[in-house]
Structure 1
């Protein structure tokens, strides 16, 4: 059932960090740490932002899942809008909510560029603007938001190069830029990411050049740079002291001798290297892994597939279209 509220703020049933959901569909709610509304002791209302109130009251369709969340100080700290067909730039009033820690505008068909006024949100930790029609460069001024922990900009129309200044965000542990039109090289400064478990997803772009070797010093647990035009050697991402769980380097122009890789992260579950120019043979170290998925097809590898682990359980499509790989599950070696 659709519930309509005249204002956006801590009005009505608030308790601690929860607030009512406006115009939500049954079953929908907050993503990534938000809360549904609960009954509780009412607290004084936050003065409504006139621009935001007008926009909310008259613009979003009933299919939108909207919500805000208030801190116990009555400051709005979470703003969520999902699944709406707005076809307009992000309203400037959103960036007047200066105490926001979470901003989610997901599948709302917002257009235009990310405005500089987003730097007003100095408390922001989680930014999700995914699945929109945002365009232009990814702005370097995002690095002014020192508290950011996650940046999610996937499925937009961003162009240009990735700003090296993003590495200045010392709390950042997740950067999601996939499914855009980004060009240029991966910044060497990305070696400066120092969070213990870092998620990096930049697939389906037009990135080129070699992945900076200095990035071996960052601690990635997920990296997906598939479907770009990257070349060179990425073997430095592998090693016994790494924490990598998921790695997808498929459909690039990578060239290196895979047989020279001696060790892998014991946590590695997915490794996709298909459609590259990788040579050598499969490393014996793969038998020590509990792999859920391995794909090395469409490369230039030769030699016997090591016996052990889960390597013989995989489909032949995980290995085919190489120069001369052989052994189970492929044909016998001659």
Structure 2
């Protein structure tokens, strides 16, 4: 009798565990995913999203191991049409949200995304989203990565983005953004984020306030920006790479007496920079370097990595000379 009872208990426990393992996805999250699928027109790419299986095992979905809530939604490279569904706001445990290489995804970022207060990574890139970048993204205070590159966003950069306290990387490159860089970008707290603003339609003078921030990586290339870039350099800075190429920057390069030891990449080509190249450049371990198409003069300092580059890194200046260009006379 005891053996029979023990056997039944084991059977019940096994059945319970089996049911638990077969349906571990939170039912509210499953319902939300099915709404998202419907809003996107029930695409073939989301065929695994059906009520016959555990939604934690659906493609593009990741669940937390402990509470079975959906923490990541990553949809990429598929024939998905429509707008980002409002229903996304109900995935309240989401930490990573990625829509990437979806050329038929249109419209704007919905306001309901502000409900995702746990969100750390928001990536919407290589889509056809358009309109302004919404200022309400500044409500996502846990964001460490905001990537809105390779879209059709237009209008000004929201100054409110500078209030994101944990931001480490900001990608707004390859859009149609206009206006100037916000003055507020000089108020990023802590270690400054890596900022990518290249291939836009930005103009105006780069605010001097940005010199107060220790950016690690700064890419302002291929815009119509002006101003004095000397504020980004000095021994107290920690910048590693900077690309200011193909703008309208005009300043005396000789004014930079010291460069941060961390600097390993500097691209200044196609601007209006004048003066001479400082001798202190020879102390840098430059892995990328280009000052072509400017108005520089004088002898190229000998030493460091400056002679590692061929004449294309220096040509089309007013009167630069010395290796790798022709000798000075």
TM normalised by structure 2 equals 0.86
**4+ runs deviating over 6 angstroms:** 62-65
Q: CA deviation at 1:95?
A: 2.5
- Residues 1:158 and 2:153 are matched in the alignment: yes
Deviates more, 1:92-101 or 1:290-299: 92-101
Partner residue in 2 for 1:85? 79
Q: CA deviation at 1:78?
A: 0.7
Gaps of 5+ in 2: 1-20, 49-57
Matches within 5 A, 1:1-334: 44-47=24-27, 48-49=30-31, 50-54=34-38, 58-61=42-45, 66-71=59-64, 72-109=66-103, 110-334=105-329
Give deviations 1:141-175, integer Å, cap 9, x for gaps.
Answer: 00111111111000000000001011111111111
Give deviations 1:281-332, integer Å, cap 9, x for gaps.
Answer: 0011110001111100000000000010011111100000000000001000
Deviates more, 1:133-142 or 1:45-54: 45-54
- Give the number of equivalent residue pairs: 295
Deviates more, 1:82-91 or 1:267-276: 82-91
Give deviations 1:236-284, integer Å, cap 9, x for gaps.
Answer: 1011111111100000000100011011111111100000000000011
SS at 1:142 equivalent: helix
Give deviations 1:104-156, integer Å, cap 9, x for gaps.
Answer: 11112210011111111111111000110000000000011111111100000
Please say if residues 88 and 112 of structure 2, whose CA atoms lie closer than 8 Å, have aligned partners that are also in contact: no
Please say if residues 196 and 219 of structure 1, whose CA atoms lie closer than 8 Å, have aligned partners that are also in contact: yes
SS at 2:272 equivalent: coil
Structure showing greater Rg: 2
Please say if residues 217 and 239 of structure 2, whose CA atoms lie closer than 8 Å, have aligned partners that are also in contact: yes
Please say if residues 122 and 146 of structure 1, whose CA atoms lie closer than 8 Å, have aligned partners that are also in contact: yes
Gaps of 5+ in 1: 1-40
SS at 1:61 equivalent: helix
SS at 1:253 equivalent: coil
Please say if residues 275 and 297 of structure 2, whose CA atoms lie closer than 8 Å, have aligned partners that are also in contact: yes
